[in-house]
Chains A and B, each alone.
Chain A
Amino acid sequence: MTRSMSVGGSTPLAHTALATPEALTVLARQMQAWLAAKNTEAPLPTLPSNLDEPGTLVAQTMLDLAQHLRSSETDLLLQQAWCDEEMADLDHVLSGVLGEKEYLLYSANAAMDEFIFLSPLARQWLGLDQPDMLHSPQGWLKLVHPEDYPAVKAAFDGAASGQGAELEYRVVLPDGQVRWHCNHFHPVREPGDGGVRVNGIISDVTEVKRREKMMMDFAFRQEVIFTLTPDCFATFDLSGNLTYANPPFEKLVNITIGDLTGVGLPEAESMLNVLLTDKSPRFELCRWVQKLQQKPDDFGFEFDFAPMLLNNLPVLELQGKPNRYLEITLFNAGSETTATVLQLRDITQQHQVEMIKSEFLSTAAHELRTPMASIMGFAELLRLRDFPPETVRDILDTILRQSRRMTGLLNELLDLARIEARGGKDIHLQPLDLAEVLQDSVKAINQNDYSAKILPAELPKAMVNADVAKLQQALLNVLSNALKYSPQGGEITLSFDFSRAGWVALHVADQGIGMTEEQLARVFERFYRADDSGSIPGTGLGMSLVKEIIELHSGEIKLHSTWGQGTTVSLWLPLLPI
């Protein structure tokens, strides 16, 4: 704290050389005596008895006195000061304690249009040369910021009718500087005949206002950030009571901040635990906070947050539809009201992607290892033992069949991966007649392998923008599915649908085994097989691939199925404008 301690007046007090501790002691004693002589009602700060000893807290004593003067005491003194001498005395004391740039003392007549007393500092303090402004408080009004003017004017006018006031307003100084003033004045009745004068003190509160605004801006910014962040934050004080929770946290625990404030660690712990699924790890806030506080408080050579953080905590699973996953971080902030910061981050999406990826990998590995088990096992058997020729032939057939199955799987996996990774960058679109591509696909399938039959269809021209190889692959998958899943035979009908303007749909309807609603919902899952008996060959990737290809063509795929009655696959594609 730096306060100017030089004094410009001519009293003994003001002449004291203030730089030495001895001088400060003298000043403190004089002030105490002066205040005591004023006989005010407010209790005076007591001076330490060891004031004379070198090194006592003289500065602190001075500060106490200054505080005393600033608050109720100044107020009382202002109300009591009657003559110019008293004001001048007060002025000197204040300038000695508070510093000359901090305040301005004045005394004016009731109409506030003439100064009776004005601190000698006024001229340099306000930077005024205009005599009218140094002449009366009303003259000052010219300096008041236009936005604040009406309120100040009203208050000044009120002084005449005995109204005191404490006002904060902006003034625009002649050099263009804007400063905040706090003007505190009291109308005082003269003893005896009852005339009225106004005693006032003005302090420059520009710095206070600047800090206030900075704090408000800061608080506002923090508030906005902590409201908008998807992360949940809560802070706890040193004794473990909740001091703050941001809106996402409220939403998470579904309790308003008002009800949360003051909640202790054990309570917060159980509050969150009831929200977790049975298989989720527990939320052990108390234990973790204890662990965090036991961490060495040594930051080492470079500043590092690691000792203050606890972030290798288990991921919590929160009940919901679907269940959500929360990553926990605890931070030892060390302040009294914000001793511990708890951060909960929703990592559901990341978690799901990881689960899907790992599930896909392990399923893919399973699907590839299964044919490989036959291929390797039988090949090794052939080397280990002599079998009769017909058994050898049978084993070789099995190896060949399983090798084909594996090749098909690898191809479809690669197709899928390529489409997903390339995102359609290697698609070659050209105007094609869907009817023509369909007829080619029908011809490419050897229908003799199946008991069902694709009925010949006369289909009109339907021009679409498509990649011929990919479209054919999709159609072949849909057609072979229709054949495969009609083991009892039946007819497969192909038809076009132009009911939606600008679109064509190819309906492939079979009379096969159909699917239940649950099966239908899972058709596009990787490796999902509606047939789990193993009697219908397939990889479980075909429909995933069809979906990817159709969506790559800005199309849509729709499925209708009734268990035991058959399935209709509809591929919707945008028509080329004619």
Chain B
Amino acid sequence: MKTSILVVEDQSDIRKLINMTMQFGNYEVHEADHGLLGVKMAQAVRPSLILMDVMMPGEIDGLQACARIKSDPELRHIPIIMLTARGQQSDFEAGRQAGADGYLTKPFSPLELIDTIEKLLQERAAAGA
């Protein structure tokens, strides 16, 4: 069975990049192009992991979307990796406060992305077992 990943990112090129990268492994990728849709899809899809862009236009940004998912008892176990192009210490802090489990700074290498995702999933599996 494929591991499902939800990508919440406004830039279509980045979504495409992640989608193509995930083809290296046994993944199924779902996409949302804004925060609110991301929260809705998280509820609908129940993915194994979420990749969330920090700065997104629309009603809520990535941090708010992350916080909403983490405050939902049904969803809070899903690990969230924040994607950011700002990469400042304050951003990491804000991500941690919103409940994010990991951080990736743009630009990132596809191998780094897979590495981060797999590590996090293995940790979860070990903790669950």
**Which residues does A use to contact B, with CB under 8 Å?**
362, 365-367, 369-370, 372-378, 380-381, 384-385, 395, 398, 401-402, 532-534
Contacts and interface: CB of A to CB of B under 8 A. Distances in A.
B13 to A, nearest CB: 4
B110 A369 contact: no
B8 to A, nearest CB: 14
A366 B58 contact: no
Contacts of B14: 370, 373-374, 377
Contacts of A374: 11, 13-14, 17, 107
Given A372-B106, A534-B57, A366 B17 contact: no
Nearest to A377: B17
B37 interface: no
Nearest to A391: B20
A372 B20 CA distance: 17
A381 B111 CA distance: 9
Contact of B111 (A367, A378, A380, A401): A380
B21 interface: yes
Contacts of B24: 384-385
Contacts of A376: 107, 109
A373 B24 CA distance: 18
Interface stretch (B40-48, B72-80, B83-91): B83-91
A508 to B, nearest CB: 26
A374 B106 CA distance: 9
A532 B20 CA distance: 25
Given A372-B106, A373-B108, A378-B17, A534 B11 contact: yes
A401 B108 CA distance: 19
16 contacts: A365-B85, A366-B85, A373-B17, A373-B106, A374-B11, A374-B17, A376-B107, A377-B107, A377-B108, A378-B17, A380-B111, A384-B110, A401-B13, A532-B57, A533-B57, A534-B11
Contacts of B31: none
Contacts of B106: 369-370, 372-373
Contacts of B12: 534
A378 B85 CA distance: 17
B107 A375 contact: yes
Contacts, number: 67
Please report whether the interface of chain B is mostly helix, strand, loop or mixed according to DSSP.
Answer: loop
B85 A373 contact: yes
B120 interface: no
Contacts of B111: 380, 384
A237 to B, nearest CB: 42
A377 B16 CA distance: 10
Interface string B56-80: 0110000000000000000000000
B85 A398 contact: no
A10 B81 CA distance: 106
A385 B58 CA distance: 35
Contact of B110 (A367, A372, A380, A534): A380
Contacts of A532: 57-58
B98 interface: no
* Central interface residue in B14, B58, B86, B107, by most chain A CB within 10 Å: B107
Contacts of B107: 369, 372-377
Contact of B85 (A370, A377, A385, A533): A370
A417 B85 CA distance: 22
Contacts of A365: 85-87
B55 interface: yes
Contacts of A395: 20
A395 B17 CA distance: 9
B108 to A, nearest CB: 7
A366 B86 contact: yes
A363 to B, nearest CB: 8
Contacts of A378: 17
A533 B13 CA distance: 14
Nearest to A362: B86
A398 B16 contact: yes
A532 B33 CA distance: 12
Contacts of B105: 369
Contacts of B21: 377, 381
Contacts of A366: 55, 84-86
A395 B11 CA distance: 15
A129 to B, nearest CB: 87
A534 B56 CA distance: 10
A370 B11 contact: yes
A349 to B, nearest CB: 22
A304 to B, nearest CB: 33
A375 B108 CA distance: 10
A518 to B, nearest CB: 14
* Central interface residue in A365, A370, A384, A533, by most chain B CB within 10 Å: A370
B10 A534 contact: yes
A367 B57 CA distance: 14
Contacts of A533: 57
* Central interface residue in B20, B85, B111, by most chain A CB within 10 Å: B85
Interface string B102-118: 00011111110000000
Given A373-B17, A384-B24, A534-B10, 16 more contacts: A362-B88, A365-B87, A366-B84, A369-B85, A369-B105, A372-B106, A374-B17, A376-B107, A377-B14, A377-B21, A377-B110, A380-B110, A395-B20, A533-B57, A534-B11, A534-B57
B88 A381 contact: no
Nearest to B23: A385
The 5 closest A-B pairs by CB, nearest first: A532-B57, A373-B106, A369-B85, A373-B107, A376-B107
A369 B11 CA distance: 12
A421 B13 CA distance: 35
Contacts of B88: 362
A387 to B, nearest CB: 8
A398 B111 CA distance: 20
Contacts of A381: 17, 20-21, 110
Nearest to B33: A534
Contacts of A362: 86, 88
A402 B13 contact: yes
Nearest to A367: B85
B84 to A, nearest CB: 8
